[in-house]
């Protein structure tokens, strides 16, 4: 091999590796598109958008070119911008996520709650992984890009239940390049798929005192994976179930306190 060819080899290798990663992403997104129920997603949007009282409905664009719904709420001089990821088979204004997106905006954070991929109504939790996780990761990235386009520089990922698994899968694969500077994990049903100490950013692991059994059984395992040195911590919300029903105020306070101590200080 000529010296000039040898010198170019690392660049050629990285270019090829980048091409392969791109092809794999395209393949995973294509598989996700085949798996998910876009008609159901549209029905959610048709139901949610006319009833939005707090914030604005916005159209975000996935890498596939397909639009997906976001609910954006501004805050005056925001401490950070939060992307909120809901649980299985619902929409970005549902339940605890719908409450948090408004309450955290009142506490000084811009919030963007995004529609995650859904399966048909009769689908089980097992039908979601790994079929739609590639598209879920893409939406988290596109949401971050959209917020950066509006001038936000402090980005935080906030995820609940199945959304927490989607976020965990995304961060496992993209943690070195992720634009997010902190991660709030609510009601993760099990342990983390990787030790979180390899993540440079702080993590808040939250669960309810009366949460689901898989959440409670793995509480110690999740706590052991956190790195307290970077501000990560675990918080139990007294009296809360998996959906934090009637405990949303305590939940929002815990998130606000964590963010003030880490990315928003």
On average, the pLDDT of the chain sits at 88
Tell me what pLDDT residue 25 has: 42
DSSP state of 94: S
Please identify which residue in the block is written with the tokens 């995650």: 116
CA 222-227-228 angle, 5° bins: 110
Percent over 90 (pLDDT), the chain: 75
Tell me what pLDDT residue 195 has: 77
pLDDT-based confidence at residue 34 (cuts at 50, 70, 90): low
Lowest mean per-residue pLDDT among 93-107, 191-205, 244-258: 191-205
Tokens read off for 19: 């091409």
Q: Where are the domains of the chain?
A: 36-261
Closest to 138 (Cα-Cα) out of 116, 112, 163: 116
Are 32 and 117 in contact by the 8 Å Cβ rule? The answer is yes
- Given a cut of 70, whether residue 18 has pLDDT beyond it is no
Q: Look up the pTM and report it.
A: 0.86
How does pLDDT run across 208-230, given as a tens digit for each residue?
999 999 999 999 999 999 999 99
Tell me what pLDDT residue 3 has: 41
CA 6-8-13 angle, 5° bins: 100
> Who has greater pLDDT, 186 or 32?
186
pLDDT-based confidence at residue 22 (cuts at 50, 70, 90): very low
**All residues at 6 or more sequence positions from 110 whose CB lies less than 8 Å from its CB, including other chains:** 72, 73, 74, 75, 78, 80, 81, 82, 147, 152
Separation CA 26–CA 22 (nearest Å): 6
Cα 24 to its chain centre, rounded Å, is 21
Are 189 and 216 in contact by the 8 Å Cβ rule? The answer is no
Separation CA 242–CA 162 (nearest Å): 11
CATH of segment(s) 36-261:
3.40.50.1820
- Given a cut of 90, whether residue 28 has pLDDT beyond it is no
Separation CA 224–CA 211 (nearest Å): 19
How does pLDDT run across 50-105, given as a tens digit for each residue?
999 999 999 999 999 999 999 999 999 999 999 999 999 899 999 999 999 999 99
- Given a cut of 80, whether residue 20 has pLDDT beyond it is no
């Amino acid at each position: 091999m000529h010296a000039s060819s040898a010198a170019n080899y690392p660049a050629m290798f990285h270019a090829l590796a980048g091409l392969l990663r791109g092809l794999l992403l395209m393949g995973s997104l294509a598989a996700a598109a085949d798996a998910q129920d876009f008609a159901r997603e549209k029905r959610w949007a048709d139901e949610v958008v006319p009833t939005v009282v707090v914030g604005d409905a916005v159209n975000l664009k996935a890498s596939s070119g397909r639009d997906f719904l976001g609910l954006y709420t501004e805050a005056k001089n925001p401490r950070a911008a939060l992307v909120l990821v809901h649980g299985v088979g619902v929409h970005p204004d549902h339940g605890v996520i719908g409450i948090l997106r408004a309450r955290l905006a009142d506490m000084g954070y811009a919030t963007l709650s995004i529609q995650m991929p859904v399966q048909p109504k009769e689908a089980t939790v097992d039908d979601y992984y790994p079929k739609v996780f590639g598209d879920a990761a893409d939406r988290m990235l596109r949401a971050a890009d959209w917020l950066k386009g509006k001038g936000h520089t402090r980005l935080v990922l906030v995820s609940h239940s199945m959304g927490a698994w989607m976020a965990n899968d995304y961060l496992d694969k993209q943690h070195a390049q992720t634009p997010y500077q902190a991660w709030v994990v609510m009601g993760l049903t099990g342990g983390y798929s990787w030790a979180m100490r390899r993540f440079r950013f702080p993590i808040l692991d939250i669960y309810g005192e009366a949460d689901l059994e898989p959440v409670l059984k793995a509480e110690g395992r999740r706590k052991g994976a956190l790195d307290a040195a970077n501000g990560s911590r675990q918080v139990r919300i007294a009296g809360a179930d998996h959906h934090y029903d009637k405990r949303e105020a305590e939940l929002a306070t815990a998130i606000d306190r964590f963010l003030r101590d880490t990315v928003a200080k």
